[in-house]
Amino acid sequence: MHSVIVLALVFPALGALVAAWLGPRLSHRQITWIGVGAVALSFLVAVAAFVRLASLPPAHRLIQDTLFIWNRAGATPIHFSLLVDPISILFMLVITGVGALIHLYSAGYMDDDEGFGRFFWQMNLFIVAMLLLVMAGNFFFLLVGWAGVGLASYFLIGFWYTRPTAVAAAKKAFVVNVVGDVALTLAIFLLFVNLGHVSYQTVFRQFAILPIATRDLVAALLFVAAAAKSAQFPLHIWLPDAMEGPTPVSALIHAATMVTAGVYLVARAFPIFGLAPGVATTIAWIGGFTALFAATIAIAQDDIKRVLAYSTVSQLGYMFMAVGTAAYAAGVFHFLTHAFFKALLFLAAGSVIHALSGEQDMWKMGGLRRAIPLTAATFLVGTLAISGIPPFAGFFSKDEILGGLLSGGQVGLWAIGTVAAGLTAFYMFRLYFVVFGGSARTKSHAHESPAVMTVPLVVLAVLSTVGGFLVLPGGYNLIESWLLPALSRFGPIPPLPPPTNWGAMAVALVVALAGVGSAWALYGRKAPAVEPLHGPVYRFLKGKWYIDELGDWLIVRPVLWLGSVLERFDRKALDSGFNQIGHLVAGWGESLRPTQSGYVRRYALSFAVGVMLVVAFLSLRP
């Protein structure tokens, strides 16, 4: 098995290279084969690795592969090593599996686009970076993948680079991500300076010897990194704007890859957070706040993709609540189900947009249930799943988190999560009813998408339906039993999950149904032509709590002001000084110019003067 797992990286990397170099000369069909095939092969490698891991005894489920020494500088060499264990294999499977489905879908969605080849090599690059992130055997190559994901997301969000909004969104995403990159880099520096190692096992084994302040600082920096990548408040601002990219990109970023990097980081570095309980609690609370906050914003959005974007932010809040309270298995489980149903929702939304030739405003849709039935059905599955209606996947994973919170004594967090779950059900069904229910609000010639797009939808719908059965109420928990031995290798075993909390489950179900019911009452039954809600609260939510404006006032404007001051200083004070020097040199040059008269005889004369001086020196020397 050794050195085979690297193929999971090699295939998409080759795909990216081939598509990038030969892209303009290949047909769309060939590019599709290369792009989808590379990710599919990578998925097969991941499956093989999974089978291999499963065949090992639980305590030995680890594939580590050191390919070469990257750098010998310092006391300890840094290896390019890959590490596949039960945590990373789950992420790999989702990244490559869901990623392959999204690639396949893209072949249909992007078929009319001129940048078809560019799209595929950048998507493959994204997969490579994300796989490197989860497969890295040390913090250093985690950072490489981390930054690579940021870069690829910059490319893809700004894919339609002729649109100013897309370019602005790409820049915003990149800048916010760099905040996280810097935090992660600083955390790794701290670890390296204090421990002299960056490999996971060594760092986790020795982390306890660090002073408390250092531990908290490292954990806090890692959390900032995770929050930036996973769009946690207040660094969530880039994710909704990232909807400017093509819809498959949104699906890839939101479901399979980028935003889960933060969850992966917290789950991977759980021994660090375990030794910094204050930071862990903060993570949980910020996650809870984000879950509620994003859910309230999602209620008032009109753009179909924007609603989904805020729902992603909200669902990520759930995952952070889970990992912040050491319920890693529940967090990873929710990541898994979320990957299925959020990819499904985005791809179905993309299918809707595709059917309506680019329309994204939900109030210009309506009645699409009859026009595009397959998309409507799969979208409904996704909506049910994210709303937490049994037996769809979201119900089990969300309940796992909420029940764990209540049993763990985190009543406040549980209450927030439950309210957010109700809001989720409300805004998702609002979206469903407005888009698919009622009758058409504008004239359109909606048409069902081609099979290359609907097949992934169906596959994801099936996964969203059955994905929850990995964990059933009453103690049957495949995720838990899969992850725990792996976790125990790196650090102290996190507390076992509490037994199923039937009460929490019942409350969550009631709240979710209440959300669905109120959505039906407001949007389903009467099918209003325009948004029935209004008032100051609605405007506040529609304005996204004015976080962007706040950031503009608190950060952007002061920086711009400082920049203008410095610019003036630079121009008035520094430039004039340097210009003086320049003028001085130019003046010297001008005054020396006559010596270059162009007359050979003058040159000969100056030559003779030089010779005379040399002779004078030699002959008059004592």
Site for another protein in 277-336 (CB under 8 A): none
Minimum CB separation of residue 592 from another protein in Å reads 8
Rounded Cα gap, residues 368 and 354, in angstroms = 12
Residue of the chain from 73, 193, 213, 620 that contacts another protein (CB under 8 A): 620
Look up tokens 């375990």; give the residue.
274
Closer residue to another protein, CB minimum distance, 370 or 602? 602
Torsion angle of C-alpha atoms 608, 609, 611, 613, degrees rounded to 10: 160
Closer residue to another protein, CB minimum distance, 576 or 619? 619
Minimum CB separation of residue 620 from another protein in Å reads 7
Look up tokens 């100056």; give the residue.
606
Minimum CB separation of residue 603 from another protein in Å reads 10
Q: Copy the structure tokens of residue 352.
A: 């809707």
Rounded Cα gap, residues 571 and 550, in angstroms = 31
Minimum CB separation of residue 611 from another protein in Å reads 7
Residue 183 three-state SS: helix
| Contact predicate 121/16, CB 8 Å | yes
Rounded Cα gap, residues 343 and 382, in angstroms = 9
Count of residues near another protein by CB under 8 A: 21
Closer residue to another protein, CB minimum distance, 54 or 609? 609
Residue 535 three-state SS: coil
CA torsion through residues 87, 91, 94, 100, sign: negative
Strand partners, 68: 80
CB-neighbour burial class of residue 536 (10 A; exposed 0-12, middle 13-18, buried 19+) = exposed
Residue of the chain from 162, 439, 576, 619 that contacts another protein (CB under 8 A): 619
Residue 222: name the closest of 256, 174, 270, 290 by CA.
270
Rounded Cα gap, residues 284 and 295, in angstroms = 17
Minimum CB separation of residue 618 from another protein in Å reads 7
Closer residue to another protein, CB minimum distance, 537 or 615? 615
Minimum CB separation of residue 606 from another protein in Å reads 10
Minimum CB separation of residue 581 from another protein in Å reads 22
Strand partners, 477: 471
Closer residue to another protein, CB minimum distance, 357 or 606? 606
Minimum CB separation of residue 587 from another protein in Å reads 15
What's the start-to-end Cα distance of the chain, in Å?
85
Query: Can residue 54 be called a binding residue for another protein (CB under 8 A)?
Result: no
- DSSP for residue 437: S
- Residue count (the chain): 622
Minimum CB separation of residue 600 from another protein in Å reads 5
Minimum CB separation of residue 601 from another protein in Å reads 5
Closer residue to another protein, CB minimum distance, 506 or 616? 616
Q: Copy the structure tokens of residue 497.
A: 């999950």
Closer residue to another protein, CB minimum distance, 72 or 601? 601
| Contact predicate 184/147, CB 8 Å | no
HSE-up of residue 557 (Cα within 13 Å, Cβ side): 7
- Binding string, residues 137-176; x marks residues near another protein by CB under 8 A: ----------------------------------------
Closer residue to another protein, CB minimum distance, 525 or 602? 602
Closer residue to another protein, CB minimum distance, 73 or 618? 618
Site for another protein in 559-618 (CB under 8 A): 593-602, 604-605, 608-609, 611-612, 615-616, 618
Closer residue to another protein, CB minimum distance, 535 or 622? 622
Rounded Cα gap, residues 123 and 189, in angstroms = 30
Residues at the site binding another protein, with contacts judged by CB under 8 A: 593-602, 604-605, 608-609, 611-612, 615-616, 618-620
